[in-house]
Chain A
């Protein structure tokens, strides 16, 4: 008995290896984004995110070339104390440092028998000396990127530092109003919410009405109409963009939230109706018969019976539609553009223009993922159920 269970475990080892290997591939890219978003910009540009926990830049090269004379901490030679910022200041870059290393000291080559470091290596050493002498005080981990992304900071330092020295750009006030600066992710977050909430609520409301009619009311052409609606699920969104932009242009609706709400409602409806009808149609008929016999009207049956019983379906649908609208780029790009930027738009803009550095981009991307992730992990069950019911969603 014990042997067979051990045997079974050994047989399972390859399974575990494959699964864990796949999981690592799936997690590592996201982990990279998260770690990059909490690193200061100079570090992002010079080393990969996976070095975040390893020794600081240049430490290894320093130990090989310099530590034998200057000591691990750089204090061993009092005449050339590398922790003294005034000395280190003279050699900010690899060129100055290399020039120094080429000079002889007391008639001997500076480095003795050790060969001269290459340009990149001496740049690394110079960087490490700045760290030793406390000239470079950048922390390894910072939340500044998130602050900068939220307020839409575009300078070369950080928002906090610029505000301290009063050098901030004109659109920043250095008070709470910066949270809704039109260039920042804070405002974009609000815009995304303003777009998403009605664009989730409206299709569900309309679909509940229609689904009830399809499931529990009798009328001519019921089946045909429903089949046509199911077919509309797969009309690609791109098909309708041009005529609707033209219609909106005539009505003056381009660049308004109403434009996006209505568009998402239209496109969310076929799937929402499909799901609602299937769910409502699956409720026991006796319930409705009893209600009607008690003299209930359709409206009462709808509001008091169908809606409360359909709450699980509404939850699935809500999460599905919420994530769909929140993550959408194309509709926001076409109908809102830069006038009321949503999160996906701002990030897309940062990627395609060269205006923003990696530090803002990664922080912004992570901010935009925050709410969907919370919704997803908290309500995963409903989300999956909603998705399964409509594998034909277009």
Chain B
């Protein structure tokens, strides 16, 4: 962003730009910058922010002093008696769940989105097909939760009004409690996430694919490459910067994800994720110290991905 874009002929007072900026800076300062700093300081205080977090330590239990809320945030869900129990409890904790979410959901959305973008490019009804895949983006997470409750419903032995169990029942299988079976339910929730976010990935990837020059693809075809080959060794390398942006954006989205879990299981049956746990600490247990500590942990987890996205933004700006 070079300063030279500003016309030389314009006259301006020193104050003028700041008058234009004032409303935005004021609102953002009050609603983003100040609370961010405040959250960090609250995370070192007790449940209602009146004394240091170290006062909440219990005698005879592990204590991290000023970082007591962080001890709670990081280890409360873990069973630290042995290595194997720690490992096992980690994967059923909110952190383990979030990692599962990231792995499955990012693979699912980017994979299906990319595949669909490539295939839809070859048919006449591309626009319609893409808007159907994209449609869940316009629906609220709450609405999506209701929609999918009908897919996952676990009825009685005789009556199955849930689509999946009805299919299983008709094939002669035993109905499955999709949302209350630990482990399985996280996968069921991730499927909802994939249903919502695939359209987002598909749209961005599709635009990138269309920008791949036809000559490059034609040249590969002349050289005798088959379609599969063209996809993997020509198209994917060219659009890989876009793929990486989509992946980092999706990781950030998944880390912040709250609504799907809140609506569909309320975090019960071992489906809790970080953002959900934070909400429960803040608004169900009313422990702001612990809640804000979890929030800070969440931000620390997001920072590397933010960094990647900002670096790309700066590179883009430099290229303008």
Contacts and interface: CB of A to CB of B under 8 A. Distances in A.
Interface of A: 12, 15-16, 18-19, 22-23, 26-30, 32-33, 36, 44-50, 120, 205-207, 209-210, 212-213, 215-219, 222-223, 225-227, 229-232, 234-244, 246-247, 262-263, 265-267, 269-270, 273, 281, 285, 288-289, 292-293, 298, 302, 323, 326-330, 334, 343-344, 347-348, 351-352, 361-362, 365-366, 368-369, 372-373, 375-377, 380, 383-384, 387-388, 391-392, 394
Q: Is the interface of A mostly helix, strand, loop or mixed?
A: helix
Nearest to A223: B1
A12 B24 contact: no
Given A223-B1, A227-B314, A298-B10, A351 B299 contact: no
Given A327-B139, A334-B283, A365-B142, 4 more contacts: A46-B159, A206-B24, A210-B21, A329-B263
Contact of A235 (B20, B32, B249, B255): B32
B36, B135, B263 pick with most chain A CB within 10 angstroms: B135
B151 interface: yes
A242 B33 CA distance: 13
B34 A238 contact: no
Interface string B46-74: 00010000000000000000000000000
B180 interface: no
B253 to A, nearest CB: 9
A352 B266 contact: yes
B129 A23 contact: yes
Interface stretch (B96-104, B181-189, B229-237, B287-295): B287-295
A242 B282 contact: yes
Contacts of A50: 163, 166
B150 interface: yes
Contact of A267 (B32, B142, B166, B278): B32
Contacts of B42: 242-243
A238 B207 CA distance: 32
Contacts of A372: 138-140
B83 interface: no
Contacts of A232: 28, 32-33
Interface in B4-31: 5-12, 14, 16-18, 20-21, 23-25, 27-28, 30-31
A265 B112 contact: no
B259 A15 contact: no
Contacts of B3: 218, 222
B278 to A, nearest CB: 6
- Contact-size category for B: 35 or more
Given A33-B146, A376-B135, A269 B204 contact: no
A18 B119 contact: yes
A330 B259 contact: yes
B115 to A, nearest CB: 8
A299 B297 CA distance: 44
B19 to A, nearest CB: 8
Contacts, number: 294
A209 B147 contact: no
B186 to A, nearest CB: 18
Interface in B268-299: 275, 278-279, 282-283, 288, 291-292, 295-296, 298-299
Contacts of A223: 1
B166 A26 contact: no
Q: Is the interface of B mostly helix, strand, loop or mixed?
A: helix
B123 to A, nearest CB: 6
Interface of B: 1, 3, 5-12, 14, 16-18, 20-21, 23-25, 27-28, 30-36, 38-39, 42, 49, 112, 115-116, 119-120, 122-123, 129, 131-143, 145-151, 158-163, 166, 195, 200, 203-204, 207, 245-246, 249, 252, 255-256, 258-259, 262-264, 266, 275, 278-279, 282-283, 288, 291-292, 295-296, 298-299, 302, 306, 309-310, 313-314
Contacts of A210: 20-21, 23-25
Given A26-B133, A236-B299, A32 B6 contact: no
List of 9 A-B pairs having minimum Cβ-Cβ separation, nearest first: A266-B31, A327-B140, A240-B35, A243-B38, A376-B138, A213-B20, A243-B35, A210-B24, A365-B146
A229 B10 contact: no
B143 A369 contact: yes
Given A15-B119, A327-B140, A235 B1 contact: no
Nearest to B201: A391
Contact of A238 (B159, B203, B278): B278
Contacts of B166: 48, 50
Contacts of B207: 388
B122 A47 contact: no
Contacts of A27: 132
Contacts of A240: 31-32, 35-36, 39
A369 B139 contact: yes
11 contacts: A216-B7, A218-B3, A236-B256, A236-B275, A242-B35, A242-B282, A243-B34, A327-B139, A347-B142, A362-B150, A366-B143
B195 A369 contact: no
Contacts of A369: 138-140, 143
A320 B159 CA distance: 41
B298 A238 contact: yes
